[in-house]
Structure 1
């Protein structure tokens, strides 16, 4: 049920674009990365392994960490928030690497930080890319991936963006294009501190979009909140299905939302 006074989209919003962070996937058990309960704090050795300059020595740890992430995402599937976004037919810019927007049915997804469901060659000049069969272990073979690239023979690696690596230019260009054309830009479950994703809401606002943040714990810093016209400090898995039902004029809870 809609909370009185809470912002809700209307028929005037014809170009809704979502920016999502780890908060939308936390309900699956994937958790978040930043903050006192995030992966970087709980597993500092994992955070250290995320630096590209440490490759290839850190490949076993990367396979273990991101293979586990891919397995959790595959086993638990999309959340009600993912499904609501897909049913709205809205394009998504995501900082997540779990593939849950695609699993929910979203067709336009800009993956800014890559994908834990795919592997690629360690050689950045090599075009090889393959899909994982997520498992358990620290070897690529544990996740259905050959240890060496079938094209050039270099080691294989998870297709996630590590610290000190450039974001995929195609995904970044698509994200900027979506932000510029949005008339409603909604950030969900993201800290809003990681660039270049943090610049997308300001870009959307500069191009005339209404900007909304949906997060159970929005940032207290007024300067971080100032870019948003509306801040909804509620659970996105309740807010977004409510929006979708209102826009599509349906009632009840979808049987597709298992959480």
Structure 2
């Protein structure tokens, strides 16, 4: 880890790529998943419902959980960190399913774990997919989609990746390409322990990228895995980077929540 002045992107960084996790969205009230205060610890029945082997029995719980999260995301909107990333024009690889990067204006977003703002058919051979209107309750109708696929009649489900399911191949391939072409790879709001996302920063580093972790409480051993570790709030760091890159002075115009 560098002991010099805090890292900031420079003109030599022409291919900046971000990898983001639930920590970036926690400010909206969505919270994180792991740790003693995470969703899995506080709501163990929810963690149990996230196993693909429990489908279709677990569908009511899935609709209730992900519908609620989608509603929170839409109500609160992007954070200053999301907005700063979008203003930097950087591609994003995200483990989040809340759609906040797109809402902030990011154009290239690889959603490794799917999207809570969409519904899909439970049938493996059916490609029906629809945008949700997040609401309340444990039925798909409460979130603006039919309970059964209009094409094949199978039940509908939130388009999120459950335990024991494979990540969407197109999104994973995009993430790998982005990591390999990056000259600056920035990890924000994720523990970095979940594969295959955990291999992306090392992959970027192998291809010559400078790697940076922005985390208010960096995990032990982070300094061995990244070129720079910033133990700071991403909602302050990233808007500051954006102001520096675009030479904007004063307080951040990206922060709709205020100080």
User: Where on the TM-score scale, by shorter chain, does this alignment land: which range?
Assistant: over 0.9
Superposition map of 1:118-197 within 5 A: 118-197=118-197
Q: CA deviation at 1:256?
A: 4.2
Q: CA deviation at 1:65?
A: 0.1
**Residues 120-159 of structure 1: CA distance to partner in whole angstroms, max 9, x if unpaired?**
0001211000000000100000000100001110000000
Q: CA deviation at 1:253?
A: 2.9
**Residues 48-77 of structure 1: CA distance to partner in whole angstroms, max 9, x if unpaired?**
000000000000000000000000000000
Question: Which structure 2 segments of 5+ residues have no match?
Answer: none
Q: Distance in 2 between matches of 1:253 and 1:5?
A: 21
Q: Distance in 2 between matches of 1:198 and 1:133?
A: 32
Deviates more, 1:121-130 or 1:57-66: 121-130
TM-score by length of 2: 0.97
Q: CA deviation at 1:36?
A: 0.4
| 8 Å Cα contact 1:205-1:227 kept in structure 2 | no
Superposition map of 1:1-259 within 5 A: 5-220=5-220, 222=221, 224-259=222-257
CA RMSD of aligned residues (A): 0.9
Number of positions where the alignment pairs a residue of Structure 1 with one of Structure 2: 254
Question: Which structure 1 segments of 5+ residues have no match?
Answer: none
Relative distance call for 1:15 and 1:74 in structure 2 (3 A) is same
**Residues 178-237 of structure 1: CA distance to partner in whole angstroms, max 9, x if unpaired?**
0000000000010010000000000000000000000111101x2x44220000000000
Q: Distance in 2 between matches of 1:84 and 1:129?
A: 30
Q: CA deviation at 1:254?
A: 3.9
Secondary structure of the structure 2 residue equivalent to 1:75:
helix
| 8 Å Cα contact 2:84-2:254 kept in structure 1 | no
| 8 Å Cα contact 2:239-2:254 kept in structure 1 | no
